[in-house]
């Protein structure tokens, strides 16, 4: 199965939160924008702001998720090295 591979599990731990939060952002922000009494020009301008905010928020989210995965990988490498060092003849 695909989830037996540690790399696949790490990718899934990054992709799933991104997909959920990005999907919610798009659905909810578009719905909220639709409720506001805006003209066409203002609606377009706010859509641009919303898109830029999406880019910044998802960049922050992805950097946090990647940092977590990389730190976990570094800890695992350190622990494996320490075990090998301690138990080597």
Which residue range is the domain that position 51 belongs to? 2-87
29-35 contacts: CB < 8 A, separation 24 or more? Answer: 29/54
Q: What is d(CA 71, CA 79) in angstroms, rounded to the nearest whole number?
A: 12
Q: Is residue 6 very low, low, confident or very high in pLDDT (cuts 50, 70, 90)? A: confident
Q: What is d(CA 11, CA 76) in angstroms, rounded to the nearest whole number?
A: 17
Task: Tell me the whole-structure pTM to 2 decimals.
Answer: 0.64
Strand, helix or coil for residue 73: helix
32-69 pLDDT per residue, tens:
988 989 888 998 899 999 999 999 988 888 888 888 87
Q: How many domains does the chain have?
A: 1
Average pLDDT (65-85) is 72
């Amino acid at each position: 199965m695909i989830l037996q591979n540690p790399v696949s599990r790490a990718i899934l731990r990054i992709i799933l939160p991104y997909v959920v939060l990005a999907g919610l952002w798009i659905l909810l922000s578009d719905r909220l924008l639709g409720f506001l009494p805006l003209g066409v020009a203002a609606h377009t301008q706010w859509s641009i702001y919303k898109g830029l905010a999406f880019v910044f928020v998802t960049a922050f989210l992805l950097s946090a998720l990647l940092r977590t995965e990389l730190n976990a990988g570094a800890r695992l490498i350190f622990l494996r090295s320490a075990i090998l060092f301690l138990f080597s003849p």
